């Protein structure tokens, strides 16, 4: 009987110890919530950032403000300035670019342009976007600004305008140069500017293979272009943007992908090899698409004009300031978003076109998500005695 009691105590003690060990082992797994899921995302890149393009929301970051060498990812800014020039009608896609000796001597990634050779702006953009051509980048820089240093000044000015506070460009193509540095966050900012303002860039950077024709003193020859961004073939939703590599910068990329209404930008800098860059890109994009839902209201509904007091017109047409976009990363039901208009019953003249007269507020379960201003669509002048006299006289005669 005494033996049985000792055995029972030992059994209970052993069982409790085993149970405690099991609970401690399982607890870390059971305690992981949706908010802790970033722990599962650990890219090998020295620096990384995921951004949703429409709202500019940063979904994930790792050392995102560390200044590093961008290699050919630099060309995103070069392309941005080229498209700005097209928008301003400073030149057209059919304009002819003449290659200088300086541009032809760039080396590195190139399409072997020769001094004196000519290509259209359109073909130069193809060479930069598809083949990451250093010679084409410098030729376009000289064409746009007169010289590469002048173009680099424009690049740095644009960087400041976009809030790229940790960026210094020394050249337009990304070849190694002392002080040529940027960050994952800054790359995401210029990438967002390029793809949202000039979405036609995707018509170039998604092309897998194309050709240009060299026209030199030796005659005509066709040259093949193959895209440096292998992610286009490895990820269903990939649609850009720009790769980069040097021995010092390692493997860099600013990749874009679109799925449903979402457009993501993933920036990876100083990846150790191509394989890890591809694996990390896929993990980052999957992570972003799984977490994000976008609420959009394009605000295309017509608004009822507001009655005007003491104005030269009786009503004021009004318009939304733009669309409402809200990115949710918490899995909330965005179909429950409520939109409320706040507008005055009437408004006193004078009113200037563009004046804010109200707003549309968006709430979810009582929480404000954001708002869009409502503005005057035209100017309404204050009525004076002369206006009323003429109005009364016309009424009498009519």
Angle at which helices 148-161 and 184-197 cross, to 10°: 90
Of the candidates 156, 158, 116, 106, the residue with the CA atom closest to the CA atom of residue 136: 106
Q: Which of 47, 62, 75, 137 is labelled catalytic?
A: 75
Q: Is the CATH number 2.60.130.10 carried by domain 306-385?
A: no
Of the candidates 255, 253, 239, the residue with the CA atom closest to the CA atom of residue 202: 239
Q: Which of 47, 109, 129, 132 is labelled catalytic?
A: 132
109 is catalytic: no
Q: Which of 72, 129, 137, 254 is labelled catalytic?
A: 72
Q: Please answer whether residues 78 and 170 qualify as being in contact, where contact means their C-beta atoms are separated by less than 8 angstroms.
A: no
Query: What pLDDT is stored for residue 372 in this prediction?
Result: 97
Q: Please answer whether residues 91 and 301 qualify as being in contact, where contact means their C-beta atoms are separated by less than 8 angstroms.
A: no
Alpha-carbon gap, residue 128 to 123, rounded angstroms: 9
Helix (H) / strand (E) containing 192: helix 184-197
Written as tens digits, the pLDDT of the chain (398 aa) is 444 444 444 434 444 343 333 333 333 322 223 344 445 799 999 999 999 999 999 999 999 999 999 999 999 999 999 999 999 999 999 999 999 999 999 989 999 999 999 999 999 999 999 999 999 999 999 999 999 999 999 999 999 999 999 999 999 999 999 999 999 999 999 999 999 999 999 999 999 999 999 987 777 899 999 999 999 999 999 999 999 999 999 999 999 999 998 999 999 999 999 999 999 999 999 999 999 999 999 999 999 999 999 998 999 999 999 999 999 999 899 999 999 999 999 999 999 999 999 999 999 999 999 999 999 999 999 987 676 666 666 777 76
**What pTM does this model have?**
0.82
Query: What pLDDT is stored for residue 109 in this prediction?
Result: 94
Alpha-carbon gap, residue 184 to 179, rounded angstroms: 16
Burial class (CB in 10 A: 0-12, 13-18, 19+), 73: buried
Burial 47-57 (b: 16+ CB within 10 A, else e): bbbbbbbbbeb
75 is catalytic: yes
Torsion of CA 182, 183, 186, 188, to 10 degrees: 120
Query: What pLDDT is stored for residue 6 in this prediction?
Result: 47
Domain ranges of the chain: 47-291, 306-385
Residue 254 CA to its chain's centroid (Å): 10
283 is catalytic: no
Burial class (CB in 10 A: 0-12, 13-18, 19+), 201: buried
Alpha-carbon gap, residue 254 to 129, rounded angstroms: 12
Residue 281 CB neighbour total at 10 angstroms? 25
Q: Please answer whether residues 279 and 234 qualify as being in contact, where contact means their C-beta atoms are separated by less than 8 angstroms.
A: no
Residue 150 CB neighbour total at 10 angstroms? 12
CATH number of 47-291, picked from 3.10.20.30, 1.10.10.10, 3.40.50.720, 3.40.710.10: 3.40.710.10
Query: What pLDDT is stored for residue 10 in this prediction?
Result: 44
Q: Is 236 helix (H, G, I), strand (E, B) or coil?
A: coil
Q: Please answer whether residues 139 and 148 qualify as being in contact, where contact means their C-beta atoms are separated by less than 8 angstroms.
A: no
């Amino acid at each position: 009987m005494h033996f049985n009691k000792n055995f029972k105590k030992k059994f209970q003690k052993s069982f409790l110890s085993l149970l405690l060990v099991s609970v401690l082992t399982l607890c870390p797994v059971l305690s992981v919530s949706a908010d802790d899921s970033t722990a599962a995302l650990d890219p090998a890149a020295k620096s990384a950032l995921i951004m949703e393009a429409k709202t500019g929301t940063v979904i994930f970051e790792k050392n995102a403000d560390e200044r590093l060498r961008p290699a050919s990812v630099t060309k995103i800014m070069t392309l941005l300035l080229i498209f700005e020039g097209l928008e301003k009608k400073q030149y057209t896609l059919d304009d002819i670019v003449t290659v200088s000796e300086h541009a032809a001597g760039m080396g590195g990634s190139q399409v072997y342009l020769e001094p004196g050779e000519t290509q259209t702006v359109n073909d130069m953009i193809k060479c930069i976007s598809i083949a990451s051509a250093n010679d084409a980048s410098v030729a376009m820089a000289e064409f746009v600004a007169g010289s590469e240093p002048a173009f680099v000044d424009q690049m740095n000015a644009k960087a400041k305008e976009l809030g790229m506070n940790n960026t210094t460009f020394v050249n337009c193509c990304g070849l190694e140069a002392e002080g040529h540095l940027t960050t994952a966050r800054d790359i995401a900012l210029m990438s967002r500017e390029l793809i949202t303002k000039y979405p036609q860039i995707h018509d170039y950077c998604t092309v897998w293979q194309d050709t240009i024709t060299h026209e030199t003193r030796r005659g005509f020859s066709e040259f093949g272009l193959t895209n440096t961004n292998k992610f286009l073939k490895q990820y269903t939703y990939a649609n850009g943007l720009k790769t980069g590599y040097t021995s010092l910068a390692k493997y860099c990329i600013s990749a874009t992908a679109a799925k449903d209404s979402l457009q993501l930008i993933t920036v990876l800098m100083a990846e150790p090899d191509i394989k890890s860059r591809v694996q990390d890109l896929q993990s980052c994009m999957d992570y972003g698409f799984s977490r994000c839902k976008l609420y959009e209201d394009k605000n295309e509904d017509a608004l009822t004009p507001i009655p005007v007091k003491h104005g030269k017109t009786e009503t004021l047409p009004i318009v939304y300031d733009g669309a409402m976009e809200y990115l949710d990363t918490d899995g909330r039901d965005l179909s429950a978003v409520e939109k409320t208009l706040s507008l005055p019953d009437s408004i006193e003249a004078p009113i200037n076109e563009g004046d804010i007269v109200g707003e549309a507020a968006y709430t979810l379960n009582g929480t404000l998500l954001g708002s869009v201003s409502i503005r005057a669509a035209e100017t309404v002048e204050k009525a004076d005695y002369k206006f009323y006299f003429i109005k009364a006289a016309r009424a009498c005669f009519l």
